[in-house]
């Protein structure tokens, strides 16, 4: 096995990340800037750093009831290490929870030049296909995280054609859907990343970086308060 | 990276496992015998095969309320693949659930020659240390899986000094413990494997081989009946 | 969270799997029969049990060079538990390694009634789309596992229209492909499962049950021979 | 299953993290401050934020040759999703790679008041027990990350008795060890966290938050440059 990389190299016992010494990064740059550098091979502009900071914070936690937090806590409760519990938590994400940013980015970029989006949305509805980036279990009318992200995107001069497009889809869905379908955090992140020219292949990555500390906080709380093995009570199991 | 192995080799596009062609194994041997061969570099005797068969079956499933089955189903519910959901399920095991066979084997082999086991058990109790292999959430007095495993071990002439020792610990624990501590499946598997001269390093492996099909059955049921994302309801979350 | 299940229930401290007590399964049935029962809610016929036995054995190991075995051994080498290393190994499967059985089943069942399969295959080739179930890195002309599985399927009167169809695709691919594309083990398992009326949703599950003991054997070998942390040597890393 | 939490709650469709609205955190606070708040239930002081920033950056990547990066890339190479590949990568950590921060913290806090540390270290050496936090495969004399972290700790007035103690152990080890044992990044993070009064239970968590973006960058590079399935070449496999 041979691996080619342009991320990190070692020269005379010095570690060089994307052309900068790790030492200089530790001394001069924020964690967010260093993440940006590692992924995109350049330092972020001021507004890019502010936007990425807000994107990460927006995803940081969403309570213990999510499938990812449940998995992480269940794994910790039976005596697993922090990192094994974190891996379990991450496997509680999926295209129905957190991992729809990439799908939403692809959907938006495929359809932004589509002349007749209302017809397209009705077609998807008829085929019972969910539009990625819309709908939420807890937030029924508006996902406040999306609203705040868009307001920050405006302030940072990042809000552009994709954010406008994402909002127009929301309005259109509203005209014929039986239940409210707010632009959720996956969808808002997707639109903003597209307006920042980020490749869709990195959509879910941005969400994951933001949410990992939240999963780790749940694992810590579970270990600290240790209530023993998590099990489903008999009354919550039904035999078919 | 270089790996040395004595498991499987390829000779002239033929696959050879522990000295036998895969072709001959597929045609002549049971899955259980082939597992035994792969792990121990020899085919099992008749009673060893029967015992391993019973050990694997004993562990095959324990309902959807276990932490491993919950993790597997939660992961499947958000749209993960079968293998990613299985990995999540496996990370729902831990030394408090399924993965105590190795610990119990080590405990048994360290103490079987200990002159005064009653004193030792009282010391552990005083230090609040759990004896691995005893106690169960659902089965209060006897773990029926242990009883059946021991009866099969007797029939197969495998039941020996370690099985006797495991039973004597159970009786001793009973004399001073406030709650019943049945010899659980981890403990019974541990005692039987020791009487079969299996190294303790493989204790948890035997349990895992048996339980994996159960986790996969839960994943299949979850995908088939698809009820959407698993979440903890608000009424089951309490804020501190 | 509430879970409905028809797999396993508890009645008066007895565990009942698909209507049979676990005790009776442990005493009377093979591991393979019990797996079949758990998945399909009925015991296998004799030929079904023999076929499943051969399917599991066919997948049991494929050497330390596969991505799944490498992941399992790397994880074990840094000090992880057996079950965490197994989870890592499982995450080394993917639709390019082991997890193409489901895809192949779907491809075969969609196209078996397709009048003009040669045209279809040429279309896929033109679009650079891989036909799932064909091609192998090590076996260039024939995958001997597929040959043996088909010979057992014939002997067990299971070899039917899907197995014939899978062979005809192989021949057709041969007429225009620049490199040999043997029917690989994913493809052979797929055709046999279809001839057994197994739902495609369980294709990868069958492969996983067979291969898990192999991954565990690699983990055991890695722990036993402990050569320290697995790392890629500097000479195998190239900077771009 | 019921979960008690004090991390995040929902009030009137508003998300409140540790008493602050998510909206206000997104608008006003850095990612690092928000992580600190989530874990410790208070915002960091200026020097604490600077120190945490440097700790996270120090861990961000260490090249493609580490066991965690290899696992992540191997998993991505066979077609897994970003989050499944990340879980595989995380299972490539272990107490021999990255996950020794907690152990080192426990070792330091148990022994800092130990009158005779030189004798203790010689005892461990005689028993062949590794002191957690010392030694590195690539860096032989000094781990430059540790040096830089300590210089930042001094500048931020965090460098205290534990950092001094960690250095004194390094010097002592040097007097009798046959090979150089630099204070590695796990050890340096451990000493600094102790001087910041962080509980040892969070030691590995801090490392993980820092390194996750690095694993995700490797996954991105692997998917972008897609060279197909990672396998160990035949010449790197030796049969025993």
Interface A-C: count of C-beta contacts within 8 A = 52
Do B170 and B228 fall within a single domain?
yes
Cα–Cα distance for residue pair C138/C150, rounded to 1 Å: 20
ipTM > 0.90, yes or no? yes
Q: Which residues of A touch D58 (CB under 8 A)?
A: 22, 26
**Statement: residue A57 has pLDDT above 80:** yes
Quote the mean pLDDT of chain B: 94
Which range (B122-126, C230-234, D28-32) has the least confidence? B122-126
Do A175 and A216 fall within a single domain?
yes
For residues A161-190, give the mean pLDDT: 91
Do B78 and B11 fall within a single domain?
no
For residues A67-94, give the mean pLDDT: 98
Distances (CA, A) of A235 to A232, A240, B234, C2: 8, 14, 17, 8
Cα–Cα distance for residue pair B129/B131, rounded to 1 Å: 6
Nearest to D118 by CA among D166, D165, D169: D169
**Statement: residue B20 has pLDDT above 90:** yes
> D56-75: per-residue pLDDT in tens?
999 999 999 999 999 999 99
> B33-60: per-residue pLDDT in tens?
999 999 999 999 999 999 999 999 999 9
**Statement: residue A232 has pLDDT above 90:** yes
Do B25 and B81 fall within a single domain?
no
- A:210-239 residues touching chain C, CB 8 A cutoff: 232, 234, 236-239
Q: Which residues of D touch B81 (CB under 8 A)?
A: 81, 84
Do C38 and C101 fall within a single domain?
no
- Sign, CA dihedral A45-A24-D208-C73, equals positive
At C67 the pLDDT is: 98
Of B87, B209, B221, the CB nearest to C90: B87
At A178 the pLDDT is: 78
CB contact under 8 A, C5 and A81: no
Cα–Cα distance for residue pair A136/A98, rounded to 1 Å: 11
Do B133 and B184 fall within a single domain?
yes
- Sign, CA dihedral B196-B199-B202-B207, equals positive
Query: Model pTM?
Result: 0.97
Three-state secondary structure call for residue A144: helix
Residue B153 token pair: 């071990």
**Statement: residue A49 has pLDDT above 80:** yes
CB contact under 8 A, A3 and C80: no
Residue B77 token pair: 């519910």
CB neighbourhood size of C24 (10 A): 12
**Statement: residue B115 has pLDDT above 80:** no
Nearest-Cα residue of chain A relative to residue D7: A63
Nearest-Cα residue of chain A relative to residue C1: A236
At D199 the pLDDT is: 97
Q: Which residues of D touch B85 (CB under 8 A)?
A: none
> D106-115: per-residue pLDDT in tens?
999 999 987 7
Nearest-Cα residue of chain A relative to residue D223: A201
For residues A58-64, give the mean pLDDT: 97
**Statement: residue A19 has pLDDT above 80:** yes
At C124 the pLDDT is: 87
At C117 the pLDDT is: 85
Which CATH number covers residue D213? Answer: 1.10.230.10
CB contact under 8 A, D22 and A145: yes
In a domain, A52, yes or no: no
> D159-176: per-residue pLDDT in tens?
999 999 999 999 988 888
Residue A72 token pair: 């992480």
Range of the domain at B106: 62-232
Q: Would you say D217 and D131 are in contact if contact means Cβ atoms under 8 Å apart?
A: no
**Statement: residue A114 has pLDDT above 80:** no
Tell me the pLDDT band of B13, cut-offs 50, 70 and 90. confident
In a domain, A154, yes or no: yes
Say yes or no: A12 contacts chain C, CB-CB below 8 A.
no
In a domain, A73, yes or no: yes
Do D161 and D99 fall within a single domain?
yes
For residues D69-95, give the mean pLDDT: 98
Look at strands A14-17 and A8-11 and give their pairing: antiparallel
**Any idea which residue has 């989530």 for tokens?**
D38
Say yes or no: B1 contacts chain A, CB-CB below 8 A.
yes
CB neighbourhood size of B2 (10 A): 13
Interface A-D: count of C-beta contacts within 8 A = 248
In a domain, A51, yes or no: no
In a domain, B55, yes or no: no
Say yes or no: B79 contacts chain C, CB-CB below 8 A.
no
* Share of residues in chain B with pLDDT > 70 (%): 100
Residue D201 token pair: 């239970």
Q: How close is the nearest chain A Cα to the Cα of B40, in Å? A: 28
Q: Which residues of D touch C234 (CB under 8 A)?
A: 65
Do D37 and D93 fall within a single domain?
no
Q: Where are the beta strands (DSSP E) in A43-106?
A: none
At D64 the pLDDT is: 97
For residues D27-42, give the mean pLDDT: 98
Domain count, chain C: 2
- A:111-140 residues touching chain D, CB 8 A cutoff: 138-140
For residues B117-123, give the mean pLDDT: 87
Say yes or no: A67 contacts chain C, CB-CB below 8 A.
no
Three-state secondary structure call for residue B128: coil
At D116 the pLDDT is: 81
- Sequential DSSP letters for D115-164: TTHHHHHHHHHHTTPPPTTB--SS-SS--HHHHHHHHHHHHTT---HHHH
The distance in angstroms from the start CA to the end CA of chain B is 49
CB contact under 8 A, B9 and D240: no
Distances (CA, A) of D64 to C87, D55, D61: 21, 20, 9
CB contact under 8 A, A77 and B67: yes
**Own/partner pairs, D155-160, CB within 8 angstroms, 24+ separation:** D156/D47, D156/D50, D156/D51, D157/D47, D158/D47, D158/D48, D158/D51, D158/D192, D158/D195, D158/D196, D159/D192, D159/D195, D160/D195
Per-residue pLDDT of chain C (240 residues; tens, 9 = 90+): 999 999 999 998 899 999 999 999 999 999 999 999 999 999 999 999 999 999 999 999 999 999 999 999 999 999 999 999 999 999 999 999 999 999 999 999 999 987 788 888 888 888 888 889 998 877 778 899 999 999 999 999 999 999 999 999 999 888 888 787 899 999 999 999 999 999 999 999 999 999 999 999 999 999 999 999 999 999 999 998
At B179 the pLDDT is: 80
The 8-class DSSP code of residue D235 comes to G
The 8-class DSSP code of residue C3 comes to E
Tell me the pLDDT band of A80, cut-offs 50, 70 and 90. very high
CB contact under 8 A, B231 and A87: no
At C22 the pLDDT is: 97
For residue C186, the surrounding DSSP H or E stretch is: helix C185-195
In a domain, B54, yes or no: no
Do B18 and B111 fall within a single domain?
no
In a domain, C101, yes or no: yes
Nearest to B233 by CA among A218, A231, D3: D3
Do B137 and B73 fall within a single domain?
yes
At C12 the pLDDT is: 85
In a domain, B39, yes or no: yes
H-only helix segments in chain B: 22-28, 31-40, 46-58, 67-77, 82-90, 101-111, 117-126, 144-155, 161-176, 185-195, 203-224
CB contact under 8 A, C74 and D79: no
Helix C185-195 × helix C46-58 angle, to 10°: 170
CB neighbourhood size of B142 (10 A): 15
B233: left (phi over 0), alpha (psi -120 to 50) or beta: beta
Tell me the pLDDT band of B137, cut-offs 50, 70 and 90. confident
Q: Which residues of A touch D186 (CB under 8 A)?
A: none
Do C23 and C70 fall within a single domain?
no
Cα–Cα distance for residue pair B194/C82, rounded to 1 Å: 19
Do B120 and B189 fall within a single domain?
yes
Say yes or no: D2 contacts chain B, CB-CB below 8 A.
yes
Q: How close is the nearest chain A Cα to the Cα of C157, in Å? A: 34
Q: Which residues of B touch D236 (CB under 8 A)?
A: 1-3
């Amino acid at each position: 096995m041979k691996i080619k990389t342009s991320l990190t190299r070692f020269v005379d016992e010095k570690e060089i990340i994307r052309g900068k010494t790790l030492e200089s990064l530790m001394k001069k740059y924020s964690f967010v800037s260093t993440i940006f550098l590692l992924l995109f091979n350049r330092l972020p502009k001021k507004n890019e750093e502010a936007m990425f900071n807000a994107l990460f914070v927006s995803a940081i936690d969403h309570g213990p009831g999510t499938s990812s937090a449940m998995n992480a806590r269940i794994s910790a409760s039976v005596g697993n290490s922090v990192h094994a519990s974190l891996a379990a938590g991450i496997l509680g994400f999926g295209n129905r929870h957190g991992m729809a940013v990439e799908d939403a980015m692809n959907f938006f970029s495929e359809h932004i030049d589509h002349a007749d989006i209302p017809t397209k949305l009705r077609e998807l509805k008829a085929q019972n296909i969910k539009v990625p980036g819309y709908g939420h279990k807890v937030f029924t009318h508006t996902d406040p995280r999306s609203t705040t992200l868009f307001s920050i995107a405006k302030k940072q001069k990042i809000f552009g054609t994709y954010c406008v497009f994402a909002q127009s889809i929301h309005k259109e869905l509203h005209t014929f859907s039986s239940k409210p379908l707010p632009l959720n955090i996956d969808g808002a992140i997707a639109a903003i990343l597209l307006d920042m020219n980020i490749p869709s292949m990195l959509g879910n990555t941005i969400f994951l970086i933001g949410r990992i500390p939240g999963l780790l906080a749940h694992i810590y709380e579970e270990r600290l308060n240790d209530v023993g093995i998590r099990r489903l009570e008999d009354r919550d199991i039904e035999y078919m």
